[in-house]
Amino acid sequence: DAGVTQSPTHLIKTRGQQVTLRCSPKSGHDTVSWYQQALGQGPQFIFQYYEEEERQRGNFPDRFSGHQFPNYSSELNVNALLLGDSALYLCASSFWQNNEKLFFGSGTQLSVL
């Protein structure tokens, strides 16, 4: 039973570019959340998707957008990249009806030069 998988593991972009990160949830999970983790900090909630809709959003600008597909997988898109967007991006999955435990992937390390 595969856990949460994210791709790619590492990515290097330049300022102003756009990036798409991908996440496949743990088998059976229907809810996906995204977190940004800057170096030395705890993860910060970006947004959550369920039934292909954004259900909750953290304090992130509109440059951050997402999508959830019918198979529950998800994408995180970031436009007009800034140096400050360099971080580890984590995907977490859970059940919508029972979200006591979140299962996290190992993340995508994004470097913006």
Partner 1 sequence: DAKTTQPTSMDCAEGRAANLPCNHSTISGNEYVYWYRQIHSQGPQYIIHGLKNNETNEMASLIITEDRKSSTLILPHATLRDTAVYYCIVRVTGTASKLTFGTGTRLQVTL
Residues making contact with partner 1 (CB under 8 A): 4, 31, 33, 35, 40-45, 48, 55-56, 58, 90-92, 94, 99-107
Is the peptide bond preceding residue 8 cis, with omega within 30 degrees of 0? yes
- Residue 43 or 66: the one with the smaller Cβ distance to partner 1 is 43
| Residue 48 beta carbon to partner 1: minimum distance, rounded to whole angstroms | 5
We find the least distance from the C-beta atom of residue 62 to partner 1, in angstroms, to be 19
Task: Calculate ∠ Cα 41-46-50, nearest 5°.
Answer: 140
Identify any residues that bridge with 109 across adjacent strands, giving them in sequence order.
10, 88
**Shortest CB 61 distance to partner 1, Å:** 18
* Contact (CB, 8 A) for 19 and 78: yes
Q: Which residues lie closer than 8 Å to 30 by C-beta, 6 or more apart?
A: 50, 51, 72, 95, 96
7 vs 56, beta carbon nearer partner 1: 56
Return the number of the residue (65 or 104) whose C-beta is nearest partner 1.
104
User: Closest separation between CB of residue 80 and partner 1, Å?
Assistant: 25
Nearer to partner 1, 62 or 100 (CB): 100
What count of other Cβ atoms lies within 10 Å of the Cβ of residue 75? 17
